[in-house]
Amino acid sequence: MAERVILLEHDEDMAARLAAALRATSDFTLAATYHDAISALGKGGVFRPHLCLIDVENEDALEHLPDFAEHFPTATILGLMEEWNADTAERVLAAGGTGCILKPFQVQDLLDAIALYKRRGQPKPSRTLTFFSPKGRAGRTTLAAVLAIELARLSGESVALIDADLQFGDLSMFFDINPPHSIIDAAHDIKLLTPATFAPYFHPLGNNVWLLSSPDRPEYAELVDAEGLIEVIRMASNLFRFVLVDLPAGFSPISIALCEFADTDFLVTMINSGQEVRHVRRSMRMFALWESYGKHVHTIFTRVNPCTTEEKEKLERELGHPVSDILPNEYQMTAITGAGRLMKELPRDTLLIKIIGYMAEDIINGRR
């Protein structure tokens, strides 16, 4: 059955081109074309559209986008732009739109975009979460990977894992894959890409989780900067409801910039030598600045034994700051991640996975 479309395009020549493309296929039925938002909102309801195509390069149409989302709650709402603009794309998502597509388009481009955004999940802004640790071997990467799996499982929406540990990232090893693209490729090409052409840079891991891997040679880390990586994450937000970014250990210009950009930061450290609380306390000086701007900062201690409420309270007294979660050691995880079997053999009956599942539920429901 053909989908009914209403088109809002302020430029008459462009409107004619888009209308011709839509009429040339049996996949869509162009119900009406409008040149201003008020007319589209006032008259378009009679057609009960499945798809609204809206010229979001026009400020008036962009400002009325929440009204389209309210008037046509079951419709797919796509913003139209001639050149990709990340700021506008984010405003479309924030207003309840489904996503954006470049104009003029071919019908297959439109079908592909609809499929991509349907896979993404709810038409809501993406959540961007970073995972930072003062030193290595803290369980940061394991937490990011397992949380990604649990977010996808519990939400039914798409999740991206981005390995921004540019020199020594090993997320691809956790899943036993050798992706053809890396975050270096994405950062290099990002200004030439749209969500549709960016999607193949992510390797499917299964179960609605995708990976953008780190490069396979450490020296490639010198080829990108923080600004390029932020643009990668911004475009990923158009493809995925949750974007999880694994960072290198320790503060660097890249880790600082990405933590500052994200809406949620996880500060992860492992209990081992007894110095970890001091390291976290020092790190919190930086994170405290971002908390004052409304950012969510969560302190996580891993390999805590015994993993009890009393132990958590003890760590909070030592740290002088609330501890969001404590995670127990799980000896199976080292063997599973080292053999690349994380997606296939996640030990769900363990306390570790259950706690991370509770964390995922909190994120999905907006409690953190």
Tens of pLDDT, residue by residue, the chain (368 residues): 789 999 999 999 999 999 999 999 999 999 999 999 999 999 988 999 999 999 999 999 999 999 999 999 999 999 999 999 999 999 999 999 999 999 999 999 999 999 999 999 998 999 999 999 988 778 899 999 999 999 999 999 999 999 999 998 899 999 999 999 999 999 999 999 999 999 999 999 999 999 999 998 888 888 899 999 999 999 999 999 999 999 998 888 999 899 989 999 999 998 876 677 888 888 777 777 666 556 788 999 999 989 999 999 998 998 888 899 999 988 888 889 888 999 999 998 999 999 999 999 999 999 88
Whether 146 and 54 map to the same domain: the answer is: no
* pLDDT for 20: 95
- 59-100 pLDDT, tens digit each: 999 999 999 999 999 999 999 999 999 999 999 999 999 999
* pLDDT for 327: 95
Residue 238, both tokens: 């158009």
Sheet harboring 76-81: ordered strands across?
28-34, 3-8, 51-55, 76-81, 99-102
What's the CATH number where 211 sits?
A: 3.40.50.300
Cβ proximity of 219 and 70 under 8 Å: no
Whether 227 and 108 map to the same domain: the answer is: no
- Would you report the helix, strand and coil content of the chain in percent, each value rounded to 5? 45, 20, 35
Q: In degrees rounded to 5, what are phi and psi of residue 102?
A: -80, 145
Whether 83 and 168 map to the same domain: the answer is: no
Whether 355 and 306 map to the same domain: the answer is: yes
Q: Which pTM does this prediction carry?
A: 0.94
* pLDDT for 273: 61
Number of helices (H), then strands (E), belonging to the chain: the values are 16, 13
Whether 135 and 103 map to the same domain: the answer is: no
Question: Last residue of some domain: 92, 120, 148?
Answer: 120
Whether 133 and 76 map to the same domain: the answer is: no
Number of domains in the chain: 2
Whether 276 and 317 map to the same domain: the answer is: yes
Helix 140-155 × helix 331-338 angle, to 10° = 90
Domain that holds residue 346: 127-364
Question: Last residue of some domain: 120, 135, 162?
Answer: 120
Whether 77 and 204 map to the same domain: the answer is: no
Whether 294 and 352 map to the same domain: the answer is: yes
* pLDDT for 292: 56
Whether 167 and 72 map to the same domain: the answer is: no
What's the CATH number where 83 sits?
A: 3.40.50.2300
Sheet harboring 159-163: ordered strands across?
203-206, 209-212, 159-163, 242-246, 127-132, 264-270, 296-302, 325-326
Whether 138 and 76 map to the same domain: the answer is: no
Q: Which residues of 249-264 are buried (b: 16+ CB within 10 A; e: fewer)?
A: beeeebbeebbbbbeb
